[in-house]
Amino acid sequence: MNNSQGKVSLPVIKRLPKYYRYIAQLHKSGVATISSSELARMMGTTASQVRQDFNCFGGFGQQGIGYNVEVLEKEIGHLLFGHGEKLPTILLGAGRLGTAVSRFLTTDTNGYNLLAVFDIRQELVGHDLDGVPIHHIDELDEFCKANHPTVAVLCLPRESAKEVSGQLVELGIKGFWNFSHYDLSVAYPNVTVENAHLGDSLMSLGYRLRNK
C-alpha cells in the first residue's frame, strides 16, 4: 500500500510490529473486524493515534463497521516483510548472543535470509549455526562480493564492530541490526541502523520499577 502522507515517521514505523502481533493474534482467534477504539485499548494508545498511523499507509480500507482483521494482517505484513522476497543477511559473531540471534533469524518468519555467519575463531570454521555455515572473518570480502548481502547483524564487541562496519558499508551493506555498543547511525548516516541495546532496556526497566 502506498504511503499517502510523504515520509513515514520513525515512531509510526516502530509501532507497526506491535500492530502486527496483536492483529495476527486476533486473526488466529477468528476475529473478523475490529474498531480503532478496540485496537487502541489493546495497544495502550488512542483511537485517533491508530487512525493517524494507518492513514500514513492509505488507511487500510477502513469501513464504518471497523477494520477487516485479515486485510490488516496482510497489508501490515507486506509493509514489514515485503511480498515474499527475503533480505540477504550475514551475521558477525558466533558467540552466545550470535547463537541466540541466528536461531531467531532462521526459525522466525521475519523476511530475512541468513546466508552465513562470520567469526574470528578458526576452530568454528566449517561448523554451522542452525544450518548456516560459519566462515572465518577473513573470507568476508570474497563472500560479500559473490553473494551481495544487504543486511549485517553485529553480535560483536564495540571495538570489533567499529573496525568492521566501514568495510561492510564498502561491501554494499545497506542496513545493520546492531547489538554492539558502537553508534553506527552516527558513523554512517546514510545506512539504515536498528540498534538493539539490551543493557538500555534493562536499565529502563529498573528505572520504571524504582520510580513508580
- Residue 136's beta-bridge partner residues? 119
Which amino acid belongs to residue 84? G
- Residue 91's beta-bridge partner residues? 117, 153
What are the start and end residues of each CATH 1.10.10.10 domain in the chain? Answer: 10-81
203 φ, ψ to 5°? -65, -35
Q: For residue 63, what pLDDT is reported?
A: 61
Residue among 169, 25, 176 nearest 91 (CA): 176
Overall pTM surpassing 0.75 (yes/no): yes
Residue with cell 464504518: 64
Q: For residue 1, what pLDDT is reported?
A: 47
**Distance separating alpha carbons of residues 80 and 108, to the nearest angstrom:** 13
Residue with cell 564495540: 158
Q: For residue 62, what pLDDT is reported?
A: 67
Contact predicate 204/185, CB 8 Å: no
**Distance separating alpha carbons of residues 77 and 95, to the nearest angstrom:** 31
What are the start and end residues of each CATH 3.40.50.720 domain in the chain? Answer: 87-200
3-state secondary structure of 8: coil
Q: For residue 202, what pLDDT is reported?
A: 87
Domain 87-200: CATH superfamily is NAD(P)-binding Rossmann-like Domain (3.40.50.720)
- Cα torsion through 184, 189, 191, 194, rounded to 10: 50
CB atoms within 10 A of CB 204: 11
- Residue 122's beta-bridge partner residues? none
At CB < 8 A and 24+ separation, what contacts does 139-148 make? 140/164, 140/167, 140/168, 140/171, 141/167, 141/171, 143/90, 143/115, 143/116, 143/118, 144/90, 144/168, 144/171, 144/172, 144/173, 145/171, 147/88, 147/115, 147/116, 148/88, 148/172
Q: For residue 110, what pLDDT is reported?
A: 78
CATH architecture of the region 10-81: Orthogonal Bundle (1.10)
Q: For residue 4, what pLDDT is reported?
A: 43
Q: pLDDT tens per residue, the chain (212 residues)?
A: 444 445 889 999 999 999 999 999 999 999 999 999 999 999 999 999 999 999 999 888 766 778 999 999 999 999 998 887 899 999 999 999 999 999 999 987 678 999 999 999 999 999 999 999 999 999 999 999 999 999 999 999 999 999 999 999 999 999 999 999 888 877 788 899 998 888 888 898 898 899 97
181 φ, ψ to 5°? -105, 25
CB atoms within 10 A of CB 188: 16
